Amino acid sequence: MIVLLNYFNKFMIPNKRKIINDPIYGFVTLTDDLVYDLINHPIFQRLRRIKQLGLTNLVYPGALHTRFHHAIGAMHLMTEALQVLKSKGIKITDDECRAAIIAILLHDIGHGPFSHALEHTIVKGVHHEHISMMLMDELNKTFKGKLTLAIKIFKDEHPKKFLHQLVSSQLDVDRLDYLKRDSFFTGVSEGVISTDRIIKMLTVVNGNLVIEAKGIYSVEKFLIARRLMYWQVYLHKTVLGAEKLLVNILKRAKELSLSGNDLFATPALSLFLKNNYNKKDFISKPELLEQFVLLDDYDIMASIKVWMNHDDIVLSLLCKNMIERHLFKIQLQNKKFTETEKTGWIEKVMKKYKLTKKEAEYFVFTESVNNSAYNSAEIKINILYNNNVLVDVAKASDQLNIKMLSKKVTKYFMCYPKGI
């Protein structure tokens, strides 16, 4: 059992029924003692220190909401969805309701600093859902097995598949909340969706979550909003530039640390900079999990501010560019960039900053991004008609061609410093 969990056990505060004033949904009521205790646990409170949209606030200044906000919102939508399903005669026990609420509440607790931006940078090959699962297991020990059913739902091991689909699917409460919430805080109105309408149209057929035919247009709007939000917010080229700059800062800091340089960093961050841990290490060394949950956005930004004055010109310049918002220039196009194009920019950077080719590659690089609003290869969004026939939304849609939204679009980008 990790120390942080044991610490919490010593200071359990009396349970109270609370209401949380959410800017999206209004008052969110906590009616369960266990949910209240989980929200007040240090591992969950850590989500207050991790921004939902990473560095998107460098483009949309209002995007400063956190993973804590999102988890509370998703929990609220889960509560609403369960009530709707029960009102339609779907058998869901009180224990299953509480477990599903806990599963969605904790679904993001494994996120590292700046959410997705640094997911495979601090620790290689470990998805945030894997860490969420490990943390849920530890919390289950702390709460003496009371999370067992929630974990089964989270892992899709419960016989009522629709409960897991509410947590993770192509039309889950996670997506419903983050689209509506991210739209609100960025001010990008294209992401506005009718969560109330979609939830009211939910039902269950053959154990799977489906949408009643009356809700098809709301689902179409949801898919269109998701597509637009990806291009306008999540994959905005300036956001990509900022996130890649942050990734390269950590990459350089790790390279220097592994070669023996003693960089300023919090103890937890220093541990991960000096070692290349992977998923197996997290399993064999439980203490790593305790150190990981001590990391948040503040560890990274405090270090970057100090690294601005580091002797290494690459690290120093990258950090100054981040703090002063001199982000990478990005060219975005539908075809791959040639090696000649990339080499040309690398040579310019080498000449201007007197860097080696390897060092210049921290400032000039090419990558790709994908956008697909609806994946027909996954569990489909099925529309239920009055004759009890189920039709995939991509075929049922008569207003817009949803098939086009299911097509994966790949774009290629090249980053290089401005003013070169």
pLDDT at 14 over 80: no
Instruction: Give the mean model confidence (pLDDT) for residues 40-61.
Output: 97
Residue, of 286 and 200, whose pLDDT is higher:
200
Mean pLDDT to the nearest integer, 205-230: 94
For residue range 349-368, list pLDDT tens digits in order: 999 999 999 999 999 999 99
Q: pLDDT at residue 8 above 90?
A: no
Proportion of the chain above pLDDT 70, given as a percent: 94
Average pLDDT over residues 316-329: 96
**pLDDT confidence band for 9 (50 / 70 / 90):** low
Instruction: Tell which residue, 361, 380, 248, 370, has the closest CA to residue 315.
Output: 248
Whether 403 has a pLDDT exceeding 70, the answer reads no
Q: How many CB atoms lie within 10 A of CB 124?
A: 11
Top pLDDT among 283 and 50 is at: 50
Instruction: Give the pLDDT confidence of 245-265 residue by residue, as tens digits.
Output: 999 999 999 999 999 999 999
Q: What is the pLDDT of residue 399?
A: 55
Q: What residues contact residue 319 under an 8 Å CB cut-off, 6+ apart? A: 249, 304, 305, 307, 308, 310
23: CB partners within 8 A, 6+ apart? 184
pLDDT bracket for residue 11 (50, 70, 90)? very low
pLDDT at 115: 84
Whether the Cβ atoms of residue 348 and residue 399 lie closer than 8 Å to each other: no
Provide the pLDDT confidence category of residue 374 given band limits of 50, 70 and 90.
confident
pLDDT of residue 118: 78
User: Chain-centre distance of CA 312, in angstroms?
Assistant: 32
Positive/negative CA dihedral, 289, 294, 296, 300 = negative
State pTM to two decimals: 0.92
DSSP conformational letter for 156: T
Per-residue pLDDT tens over the stretch 133-184: 999 999 999 999 999 999 999 999 999 999 999 999 999 999 999 999 999 9
Q: What is the pLDDT of residues 286-322, one digit of tens each?
A: 899 999 999 999 999 999 999 999 999 999 999 999 9
Q: Which pLDDT tens digit goes with each residue over 88-127?
A: 999 999 999 999 999 999 999 999 999 877 777 888 888 8
Q: Give the chain's domains with CATH numbers.
A: 3-233 (1.10.3210.10), 237-326+340-347+356-361 (1.20.1250.30)
